[in-house]
Structure 1
Amino acid sequence: MNRFAAVLGLTAALTAASQASAVTLTFACDSVGQGYNECKKGADAWAKKTGNTVKLIQVPKETDQRLALYQQQLGAKASDVDVYMIDVVWPGLVGQHLLDLNKYVPAAEVKQHFPAIVQNNTIGGKLVGMPFFTDAGVLYYRTDLMKKYGYNAPPKTWNELATMAQKIQAGERKTNAKFVGFVFQGKNYEGLTCDALEWISSFGGGTIVDNSGKITINNPKAVQALQAIQALIGTASPAAVTTYGEEEARNVWQAGNAAFMRNWPYAYAAGQAKGSPIAGKIGVAALPAGPGGKPAATLGGWQLAVNAYSKNPKEAASLVQYLTGKEEQKRRAIEGSYNPTIAALYKDQQVLKAVPFFGSLYDVFINAVARPATVTGSKYNQVSDAFSTAVYGVLTKKSAPGPALKTLEGQLTRIKGRGW
């Protein structure tokens, strides 16, 4: 055999060996907005770099449904999914089924991320999730319509928002019967918990349950907040808003049929995309405040976690390390307006050029209000469900804010009695 043939044979053997050792990972990532496509871009880049394959699976858009599915899979110790994208409030609920990433990701890389999120993802000393992107609720507004109707700044209070939204709505409906003033997440699910926490906190009404575990929701400022938002339904906001999740609200907004929207930062890149009716007409600001209160944004965000029952834990951890790294977080920030969890990227000029409000609203993101997931532990889901159901009853005008919060207080007391 000549030397050339030998080299070809060796190359073929090495390629075969490489293919034999390659693995296929299953990744349950995102389905909201551009989430699936952005996850695929990152996963494909890692696969190309390592010679492995990543199969993405479609997941429910609603976080409640996603969690129920994941709990079922993990509870059965199934190895079908290697990597999960998990909500910021889930580590305490599913952490026992997740791999300790401290054993796979260098400490220096972990330290690049916001310490509070790393701490949130650390359960009993185990790092059960690497920060992927953080989130906080923001107010979107149409810059062209603000100018058209004589406004030079976004609303600072909920009363201002109501006034401005109704004025713009009345004017625009002369030529567009579908136009509405303000859309948000009003459906009965975790998204409503996030929105309602912002309303109540911005009025000075607390955070449902305080850090000591005391139930604080039944107070006059919380009642006042729900009264203000209830008054928006049928005036500045359509009755149908009580059926909206993130995507339903975004679809109305992005079609050019709303003056204001409450949503997460991901909606910015989607709205600015080529072909969007509102591209170049989008402003982003902190959410309004109640009388004597200050703006509040609920802390959201997602982590990447490895299934403890995965048959390929080393490769799964490598995928997580790549996707949560600085290079990929920068790409996702620029292309999808996903908030990085690495502080240095908020000073990156390419990121700030693509998403200017990452700089102006940095304090909003850093000081976001956490849901009471840590203090309520395994009972958080019950707490959140009781809260969103009570608020939903107010939005649909089946109950008044005062009685609704008193009943909720009783429900939470019973949940607490079973231990949190």
Structure 2
Amino acid sequence: MTAISRIAPVRRLLGGLLLGGSALAAQPALAEEISIACGAGDAADYCPIAARQWAEETGHEVNIVSTPNDTTEKLSLYQQLLGSQSSDIDVIMVDIVWPGLLADHLVDLSEHLPEDATAGFFPALVENNTVDGRLVAMPWFTDAGLLYYRQDLLEKHGFEVPETWQELTEIAQAVQAAEREAGNDDFWGYTFQGRAYEGLTCNALEWVVSHGGGTIVDAEGNVTIDNARAAEALDLAASWIGTITPEGALNHTEEETRGIFQSGNALFLRNWPYVWSLASGEGSAVAGKVGMAPLPHGPEGEPAATLGGWNWAVSRYSEHPEIAADLVAFITSEAQQKAHAIQMGMNPTIEALYQDEEVLASNPSMSDFYATLTNGVPRPATVTATDYPRVSNAFFNRVHEVLSGNQDGAAAVQQLQGELRRLSRRW
């Protein structure tokens, strides 16, 4: 069960920064109580800090609601509360693929925020959070897929960072063979998230888009997956299994792949930005040896990185939607995002912060990550709305069949086209 506790307004300074951003006048005539669903309440959860600061600035009270870490469990909790039209929670933290799924239960924030509320945010993230012309969530922090590599091994064996998937394949083969000959039989060329789950959707979308194979479903709701470039991308990925990628990758998620790379047993890794500080930190076998770059592309495409991240929304059943929207504006303000980036290492959704000297001093890799975000690819969650879980499930299961050697790329995309077209009648 979720735990709800009242947090009295307190004045807080974080890291010497005076944090602000509330649109309401301080000390309102009538203080209200707002409930916000944060994370799991661990040390990495910045939400309670920001909520307390907002309460101090506005004079309102705030209830902190701890929610499960697991995204599936979190979504289930939200669906239960929203489905019952409960007013118990006013503000909720939503995954990047949930706006379309939950839109009917969320307030149009543009009705409560200034006209320029989204100015300066990454346009792709704002677009992702806009459903049928309604701004149902404000971007908070973002992620995108990245290529990690062993700089020391590339230099040792005379290679540059690959720009295409074919280059990655050939370099991985060569370095893997050399390292195994040198005595590391556990060394692999490339590791990625291959389990049949949402993470595989992220990986495979990057392969397909970067080959010029479309985005599974386009912005108008047309299913586009059945094409030769998409099939080529999946066939290439299947060729990695058992050659440059361990067969165990078929059951690997983010942490298993990070473990392989961070222990020194992989040349390349596809993962999210959180890996940087862990792989470069104390106790890592590869500290000081790691580089980070945009993901490669196919012969007919450009680099593509699937967008991840979290956003803030207001429940349609809130008794105080305007005040709740002000809390959303406060948490997603530039000052709060700057503190979040400096104190927690999270990636802002406001473009200017990637040129901020204090942010870059705390994490120099932020400047490199900016280019990746500008090429970020949202999953087709907004256009497919409540059917997105079915779309993703069909996609990652079909891709998994290709990776497992049970189907080739052409047959898989043809079958997937039919499955998704049947679903598309509901969009």
Shorter-chain TM band:
0.7 to 0.9
**Structure 1 partner of 2:193:** 185
1:166 to 160, 173, 189: 173
**Structure 2 partner of 1:198:** 206
Answering whether residue 68 of structure 2 is matched by residue 59 of structure 1, we say: yes
5+ long unaligned stretches in structure 1: 1-16
1:73 to 81, 86, 105: 81
- Between 41-50 and 336-345, the greater mean CA deviation after superposition: 41-50
- Between 169-178 and 199-208, the greater mean CA deviation after superposition: 169-178
Q: Partner of 2:248: helix, strand, or coil?
A: helix
**Structure 1 partner of 2:222:** 214
Distance across 2 between alignment mates of 1:179 and 1:81 = 49
Is 1:297–1:369's contact at 8 Å kept on the other side of the alignment? yes
Is 1:28–1:59's contact at 8 Å kept on the other side of the alignment? no
Q: 1:193 to 1:164 in 2, by over 3 A?
A: same
Q: 1:105 to 1:211 in 2, by over 3 A?
A: closer
Q: Partner of 2:92: helix, strand, or coil?
A: strand
Q: 1:113 to 1:140 in 2, by over 3 A?
A: same
Answering whether residue 268 of structure 2 is matched by residue 260 of structure 1, we say: yes
Distance across 2 between alignment mates of 1:136 and 1:350 = 22
**Structure 2 partner of 1:381:** 389
**Structure 2 partner of 1:279:** 287
Deviations 1:348-400 (A, max 9, x none): 12223344343345333113223223333332222221111100111122222
- Between 319-328 and 267-276, the greater mean CA deviation after superposition: 267-276
Q: Partner of 1:37: helix, strand, or coil?
A: coil
Superposition pairs of residues 328-343 of structure 1, within 5 angstroms: 328-343=336-351
Deviations 1:151-192 (A, max 9, x none): 2x2111112212222333344455555443222221222221
Is 1:64–1:189's contact at 8 Å kept on the other side of the alignment? no
Q: Partner of 2:193: helix, strand, or coil?
A: coil
Q: 1:126 to 1:211 in 2, by over 3 A?
A: closer
5+ long unaligned stretches in structure 2: 1-26
Q: 1:142 to 1:376 in 2, by over 3 A?
A: same
2:161 to 154, 160, 173: 154
Q: 1:100 to 1:228 in 2, by over 3 A?
A: same
What TM-score do the two structures reach when normalised by structure 2? 0.82
Q: 1:388 to 1:30 in 2, by over 3 A?
A: farther
- Give 1:287 shift: 0.6
Distance across 1 between alignment mates of 2:46 and 2:162 = 32
Answering whether residue 243 of structure 2 is matched by residue 231 of structure 1, we say: no
Is 2:38–2:92's contact at 8 Å kept on the other side of the alignment? yes
Deviations 1:106-159 (A, max 9, x none): 4444323234433432334543211102332111112222223322x2111112
Percent of counterpart pairs with the same letter?
46
2:145 to 123, 127, 137: 137
Deviations 1:39-72 (A, max 9, x none): 45544555666684553524244x4554344323
Q: Partner of 1:163: helix, strand, or coil?
A: helix
What letter corresponds to residue 113 of structure 1 in structure 2?
Answer: F
Distance across 1 between alignment mates of 2:77 and 2:176 = 40
Q: 1:216 to 1:344 in 2, by over 3 A?
A: same
Q: 1:269 to 1:52 in 2, by over 3 A?
A: farther
Distance across 1 between alignment mates of 2:34 and 2:304 = 42
- Give 1:415 shift: 1.1
- Give 1:407 shift: 1.3
What TM-score do the two structures reach when normalised by structure 1? 0.83
Q: 1:192 to 1:349 in 2, by over 3 A?
A: same
**Structure 1 partner of 2:35:** 25
- The count of corresponding residues between Structure 1 and Structure 2 is 398
Q: Partner of 1:198: helix, strand, or coil?
A: helix
Q: 1:79 to 1:276 in 2, by over 3 A?
A: farther
Distance across 2 between alignment mates of 1:121 and 1:293 = 26
Distance across 2 between alignment mates of 1:235 and 1:364 = 28
